[in-house]
Structure 1
Amino acid sequence: MSTHDFGQVSRTVGTVFRYALLAATLVGVVALGILLLFVAVDAIQPLTADPGWHLTFFLSFVLPTLAVSGYLYLRAPDSLRAGGAIVGLLAVTTMFAGGVVLIFVDIVSPIAWFGFVLALALPAGVLALVSRTLSPGMGTSVGLGALLLYLSLAGVPGPLGGVVGLAPVAPSVIALVGSIPVLPVDWMLLAVSVSLPVGLLAGSYVASYTDRRGGTAALGLTVALGVAASLAAPSLGISAGPSLLLATVIGVPAGLAVWRSWETDRLALAVPAVVVGGAFVGAVAVELLGFAGPQSWVDWQFLTSAHSRIAEDAGLYPAIGGSILLMGAVIVLSFPFGVGAAIYMEEYAPDNRITRLIDVNISNLAGVPSVVYGLLGLGVFVRFAGQPTGTVLVGGATLSLLILPIIIISSREAIRSVPEEMRQASYGMGATRWQTVKNVVLPRAFPGILTGTILALGRAIGETAPLIMIGAPDVVFSLPAELSAKVSAMPLQVYAWATLYGSPEFYQKAVPAGVVVLVSVLLAMNSLAIVLRNRYQNEQ
């Protein structure tokens, strides 16, 4: 092919096209930013604060942050990015810590959670021991793991035995733990079932950069932090269990990020130091000087109250808890099936007409409108399976159908990105296909799988149409206590405020506040996906 086949080469056209794309992107970003700014101003009402409040925070927080950020931008941009990541991590973990405390205060008791963790740990330990000693194949491992998990969670013979009329022989691990007459206090159970697993993860992370002694130290410090927070809780006027959870969920990731920056880039710590320190100094100063802050609708009362017909008293608490439960059900139902289907399609399925047809249908299902999945959930789970409408189980199953194609597609792309040479090297070392998938492919693809899953959950948590179609109530006044209880969600609650209670007061107060909370949760979830994606790209 000769060069004249491409036509006349002109840099002007390419430059115009480049700046046209840039302009289109800026228009979209600016328009969205203006919209969110208007909503945030209505919800937070910054202009209602005293001028002294603004001046105090400008001098203690805004000005030092701009000065340090400007200096690092010119001298050490990598340090600025690393410091900004630590600040973002603090904000995200604080938000998720609130959700964790909500779960353990009003939804799941510490003893039930302890029994559940133990019911998962026992089969995992037995399966790991069997795999190390006998090296079973993939089918045997999956079958044995499923059997052990069923017996641990459901007992012997469990619900399947009840269907055929068999009498119970042994209770589940959860029921067995709950029947113990004398139990430790709640914070001790949380220390074992929350702080210890988080400590194991932290220890593994530290050990990957140092050695086993460093990992053991990180494990001990994590557990010690939770115990210390529990013991100090009474003097702070809060309960021991929530104090342990807050210290673990916020303190451990922040501590790991600070430790890593101290080892690699100490200049990056200037950003979180000036941000956190400036905010603390500003808060103390306005309290001492008596300056009133903004009369924000997003306050503690809004986050911890149920719905009310009066906009000033309306809250989002049951909807927040409902969204958390729905996302928990979605993760349990969609992640194993989505990742399992992706592994089969990429590693085991033959390339024939049937698999190509399935591949095309999965891609098409990813673009189906969400209301169609709501109708599908209504027909399958309510009409066919006979489940009550609007429950946590039905809502979670319907939203799982919605994001299952997205998880399959993103997981397949992550698995496909693993170099073929790594598989061939594993086969050359005598590994089986299952061992190659387990030890080579999945560890390499897991960050991409997790990124796609989080983005899919971000779509699910913002959906309203599927919940309306399955009969979820617009308003609930208490948190659901079981999977068969009625549930609402944050987008559904905001939709109810904007329609059923669509008065000017709700439009100006409750609706903007609900939108700010919902968008904040979505941004937090998407930020996790961005961090995982960037780390995955850096490892490549």
Structure 2
Amino acid sequence: MATQSDTIEGFGQVSRRAGIIFRYLLMGATMFGIVTLAILLVYVANDALQPLTADPGWYLVFFATLVAPATLVGAYLARTNLDALKLGALVVGTLAVTLMFSGGAAILFVDIVPPLVSLSYAVGLVVPFAAVVLMTKYEDQIPFTVRVAATGAIFFLSLFGIPGYYHSIPEMVQKIPVVPTEWVIVTFLLGGGVSVVVGLYFARLRENTRAGVVAGVAALAATGLFAVSGLFTGVNPTALAVVTAGAFVPTAAYAGGAALTREHERVGLLFAAVVIFGALVGAVAVDVLGFAGPQSWVDWQFLTSSHSGTAENAGLYPAIGGSILLMITVAALSFPLGVGAAVYLEEYAPDNVFTRFIDVNISNLAGVPSVVYGLLGLGVFVTYLGQATGTVLIGGATLALLILPIVIISSREAIRSVPSDMRQASYGMGATRWQTVKNVVLPEAFPGILTGTILALGRAIGETAPLIMIGAPNVLFSLPTELSSKVSAMPLQVYAWSSLFASEDFYTKAVPAGVVVLLAVLLAMNSVAIVLRNKFESES
């Protein structure tokens, strides 16, 4: 055993004192960074939310209905059953995050993409997918090359058709003379998809097909009932259908599944119920009693209005919609390319000078400043290919180039973490390399791939420099509706408020509010990645 200061040959001097000092120095540096960041965030949040402007009665009501009951229940669970408390907190967090994302989906379905267009493309995808499933069933009788060619041809003809000869399926669906109302389409399209997932989830939990059918029908019925309630309450029924299918139903399904399968922890659902119902009761009580809440700049008007010359009337709505379209484009471009490149480099590429050169360049590209990718997008897409500046497609392609190295690196690490024994077992069963990759490697690596992709998207959604370089407008007054439409984004809008419209009002009102909204989205995306990583790590 080493004493206070011993010397070991070939290793040097071993000192406990030096190790203790080094540990506390690291702890001090970490705490300094955390405290400094917390002070900055509190300062910005105070400007945006203005919590001290609320009536004392408002605080008293929420203390009585939310804070005190949640603290008591949480303290009891923390002492008696910490896992149950974690379950309850996860249900609350799931509801908060899914509400945020389903709100973005509501923007997409209500104001950007008409529900009939979504339905037409859904039908257009169902037909080729059914054909692919049918061909897979007879894959032993159909050559691989024929299957690949037929799959590509079916998808192309279904989605795009042949101009002048054959209309695509989406075009034919959109020309139907009589169509359901928008909320009915969304209820059956989005609510139906979620209900299928919920049904499969409960069928697997209960090992009973009937239980799955009942759960799926209940999920679809709940979506429809909430949408119908919008017709009587004045709330947009299409938006209600989206929020119900995207937030309420998945959260309720997760809580119900936990109640059925986690007997020791399901008491934690009491904590979730106290928080959710306490917040609702508090909101109703302050409205009835007439207590004014904080005069926050992050309110419904800010989230649903476009830019204005005055900070009090300025809103972030077109920028939020633009960020949503950009992230969809980025994910569609970067995910298949990044994962495909990772699979090739890890499973197929030979170990030679050329592949090592590629490895070094991918690692270097991951650290290149974002403004360089903006210049690349400007030079390639705008100057060389002659595309219009600042559109959804060009912005998405530029941001996809930015995160592509990150997606490749994270996907390669996830693929590399799959034990080689699993590959060898697959080969020993007579599987080909492609079958091994498809059935063994990718399913095992998918959680890590998904986590890395979400974190990469979190970086892309906060970038401003690439969008400035490709000529994206700083301010838009309407939502983009096509890939060729001009697009702005949340960080670009905040940048415009802090530079082009620099004034005391914008600095203390609109800019902090925009920063808080952007940080909330980033934290929500990162929390999803963390939860997925922890879930699959615990299962492995």
Q: TM-score, normalised by structure 1?
A: 0.95
1:293 Cα shift? 0.7
Q: Which residue of structure 2 lines up, in the alignment, with residue 71 of structure 1?
A: 76
Q: Which residue of structure 2 lines up, in the alignment, with residue 162 of structure 1?
A: none
Q: Which residue of structure 2 lines up, in the alignment, with residue 98 of structure 1?
A: 103
Whole-angstrom distance in 2 between the partners of 1:407 and 1:177: 36
Question: Is residue 2:285 matched to residue 1:285?
Answer: yes
- The 1:153–1:489 alpha-carbon spacing in structure 2 relative to 1, beyond 3 Å, is same
Give the conservation status (yes or no) of the 8 Å contact 1:138–1:434. Answer: no
- Of stretches 419-428 and 235-244 in structure 1, the one that deviates more from structure 2 is 235-244
Q: Which residue of structure 2 lines up, in the alignment, with residue 163 of structure 1?
A: none
Give the conservation status (yes or no) of the 8 Å contact 1:410–1:452. Answer: yes
Three-state SS of the structure 2 residue aligned to 1:8 is strand
Q: Which residue of structure 2 lines up, in the alignment, with residue 121 of structure 1?
A: 126
Three-state SS of the structure 1 residue aligned to 2:452 is helix
- The 1:140–1:400 alpha-carbon spacing in structure 2 relative to 1, beyond 3 Å, is farther
Query: Which of 32, 35, 44 matches 1:39?
Result: 44
User: In structure 1, what residue type is equivalent to 2:312?
Assistant: E
Whole-angstrom distance in 2 between the partners of 1:178 and 1:452: 37
Whole-angstrom distance in 2 between the partners of 1:140 and 1:17: 64
1:363 Cα shift? 0.9
Question: Is residue 2:178 matched to residue 1:173?
Answer: no
Whole-angstrom distance in 1 between the partners of 2:109 and 2:376: 33
Three-state SS of the structure 1 residue aligned to 2:315 is coil
Question: Residues 267-317 of structure 1, C-alpha deviation per residue, up to 9 Å, x if partnerless?
Answer: 211221111121112112212221111111011110010000111000000
Three-state SS of the structure 2 residue aligned to 1:134 is coil
Whole-angstrom distance in 2 between the partners of 1:452 and 1:474: 29
Give the conservation status (yes or no) of the 8 Å contact 1:137–1:434. Answer: no
User: In structure 2, what residue type is equivalent to 1:233?
Assistant: G
Whole-angstrom distance in 2 between the partners of 1:189 and 1:142: 33
Question: Residues 241-290 of structure 1, C-alpha deviation per residue, up to 9 Å, x if partnerless?
Answer: 22211111111221122113212021211221111121112112212221
- The 1:424–1:318 alpha-carbon spacing in structure 2 relative to 1, beyond 3 Å, is same
1:188 Cα shift? 2.6
User: In structure 1, what residue type is equivalent to 2:348?
Assistant: Y
Q: Which residue of structure 1 lines up, in the alignment, with residue 182 of structure 2?
A: 186
Question: Residues 150-198 of structure 1, C-alpha deviation per residue, up to 9 Å, x if partnerless?
Answer: 2222112x5xxxxxxxxx2211121111011111222232233211222
Give the conservation status (yes or no) of the 8 Å contact 2:205–2:257. Answer: no
Query: Which of 237, 245, 258 matches 1:261?
Result: 258
Give the conservation status (yes or no) of the 8 Å contact 1:65–1:271. Answer: yes
1:538 Cα shift? 0.8
Query: Which of 195, 200, 204 matches 2:200?
Result: 204
Query: Which of 148, 151, 158 matches 2:154?
Result: 148
Give the conservation status (yes or no) of the 8 Å contact 2:187–2:227. Answer: no
Give the conservation status (yes or no) of the 8 Å contact 1:47–1:294. Answer: yes
Question: Residues 395-419 of structure 1, C-alpha deviation per residue, up to 9 Å, x if partnerless?
Answer: 0000000001111111111111111
1:467 Cα shift? 0.1
Three-state SS of the structure 2 residue aligned to 1:25 is helix
- The 1:21–1:139 alpha-carbon spacing in structure 2 relative to 1, beyond 3 Å, is farther
Q: Which residue of structure 2 lines up, in the alignment, with residue 350 of structure 1?
A: 350
Three-state SS of the structure 2 residue aligned to 1:475 is coil
1:14 Cα shift? 2.2
Question: Residues 28-74 of structure 1, C-alpha deviation per residue, up to 9 Å, x if partnerless?
Answer: 11111111111111001011111111121122211222222222222
Question: Residues 115-161 of structure 1, C-alpha deviation per residue, up to 9 Å, x if partnerless?
Answer: 111222222221122112124677665544333222222112x5xxx
Whole-angstrom distance in 1 between the partners of 2:166 and 2:403: 37
Whole-angstrom distance in 2 between the partners of 1:422 and 1:128: 27
1:224 Cα shift? 1.6
Structure 2 unaligned segments of length 5 or more: list them: 1-6
Whole-angstrom distance in 2 between the partners of 1:122 and 1:147: 12
Aligned-CA RMSD value: 1.6
Question: Is residue 2:226 matched to residue 1:224?
Answer: no
- Of stretches 13-22 and 90-99 in structure 1, the one that deviates more from structure 2 is 13-22
Whole-angstrom distance in 1 between the partners of 2:211 and 2:350: 46
- Of stretches 301-310 and 25-34 in structure 1, the one that deviates more from structure 2 is 25-34
Question: Is residue 2:442 matched to residue 1:442?
Answer: yes
Question: Is residue 2:503 matched to residue 1:510?
Answer: no
Whole-angstrom distance in 2 between the partners of 1:228 and 1:426: 48
Q: Which residue of structure 2 lines up, in the alignment, with residue 310 of structure 1?
A: 310
Mapping 1:107-506, distance limit 5 Å = 107-135=112-140, 142-156=148-162, 168-211=164-207, 212-263=209-260, 264=262, 265-506=265-506
Whole-angstrom distance in 2 between the partners of 1:349 and 1:483: 35
Give the conservation status (yes or no) of the 8 Å contact 1:202–1:218. Answer: yes
Q: Which residue of structure 1 lines up, in the alignment, with residue 27 of structure 2?
A: 22
User: In structure 1, what residue type is equivalent to 2:153?
Assistant: L
Whole-angstrom distance in 1 between the partners of 2:371 and 2:149: 36
User: In structure 1, what residue type is equivalent to 2:233?
Assistant: L
Question: Residues 365-386 of structure 1, C-alpha deviation per residue, up to 9 Å, x if partnerless?
Answer: 1111000000000011001111
Whole-angstrom distance in 2 between the partners of 1:301 and 1:109: 23
- The 1:215–1:348 alpha-carbon spacing in structure 2 relative to 1, beyond 3 Å, is farther
Question: Residues 462-509 of structure 1, C-alpha deviation per residue, up to 9 Å, x if partnerless?
Answer: 000000000000000000121111110000000000000010000010
Structure 1 unaligned segments of length 5 or more: list them: 159-167
Q: Which residue of structure 2 lines up, in the alignment, with residue 161 of structure 1?
A: none
Q: Which residue of structure 1 lines up, in the alignment, with residue 54 of structure 2?
A: 49
User: In structure 2, what residue type is equivalent to 1:121?
Assistant: V
1:217 Cα shift? 2.7
Give the conservation status (yes or no) of the 8 Å contact 1:261–1:268. Answer: no
- The 1:345–1:215 alpha-carbon spacing in structure 2 relative to 1, beyond 3 Å, is farther
Whole-angstrom distance in 2 between the partners of 1:368 and 1:536: 31
- Of stretches 412-421 and 60-69 in structure 1, the one that deviates more from structure 2 is 60-69
User: In structure 1, what residue type is equivalent to 2:490?
Assistant: M
